[in-house]
Amino acid sequence: MKKSYRFTLVELLAVMALISILSAIGFGVYSYAKNKSKESASEALLGQITAGLESFNAKHHRYPSSGGSFQPVKFTFGNSDGTLSEIDFGGETLELQSISDSDPQAKKKRMKNELFESFAKAVDMQTIKNNLTPPDSNGVCELVDAWGGKIYYRSPGKFKTGSYDLISAGPDGGFGTGGASTPPNGDSDLSKFRDSGEKVCDDLFNF
């Protein structure tokens, strides 16, 4: 006669515990890889904005103004053909103007177009479009990171003086070590973001 073997309760519990441990490890590895992928995508997005800002500065010897406080970066696309028509930095909006041969404002509009194009030409617009909120009733979209958080810009910069501050809250959605819902405008305490040159929070920034 063949002897049948049955699992004891202890053995079943041990197998279940092992499966739980392996599942937790696998989920942890997956979550880490997913988060790193989002971090890389968000850093690439900040790199695109940086490229546009540096191109603007090279042409005009300044950076677009945000009015001195952190403002979300916004893009507006034309409803008819989907082309970019405005880039809003809070204190300054770069607009693409249409010009006719008989337009009395042609010179002024060309100057505005130069401001717009000096930023837009250095940016991969498809990357921008992939990281925007749905347009509001006016066709305005806000730039967001891979976690859905707004990208904020400030010029003149307080963390990076003489330049600009660009920041994403990262995976936790909070800014600095205090986890604020918006970037701090009232102070320039860099220790909330860096300590002796090392990052102390999960934010992504240029300073």
Domain assignment present for residue 45? The answer is no
Q: What is the pLDDT of residues 115-128, one digit of tens each?
A: 999 999 999 999 99
Predicted local confidence at residue 32, as pLDDT: 62
Report the distance separating Cα 34 and Cα 13, nearest Å: 31
Domain assignment present for residue 189? The answer is yes
Domain assignment present for residue 17? The answer is no
Domain assignment present for residue 161? The answer is yes
Domain assignment present for residue 98? The answer is yes
pTM tops 0.85: no
Q: What is the pLDDT of residues 40-62, one digit of tens each?
A: 999 999 999 999 999 999 999 99
The count of domains in the chain is 1
Domain assignment present for residue 11? The answer is no
| Domain enclosing residue 92, as ranges | 62-205
Strand partners, 94: 87
Domain assignment present for residue 12? The answer is no
Kindly report the backbone phi and psi dihedral angles of residue 186, in degrees, each rounded to the nearest multiple of 5, phi listed first.
-80, -15
Pairing state between β 165-168 and 204-205:
antiparallel
Q: What is the pLDDT of residues 20-38, one digit of tens each?
A: 887 778 776 666 667 789 9
Contact 34, 196 (CB under 8 A): no
Domain assignment present for residue 138? The answer is yes
Strand partners, 167: 152, 205
Closest CA to 154 of 130, 173, 175: 175
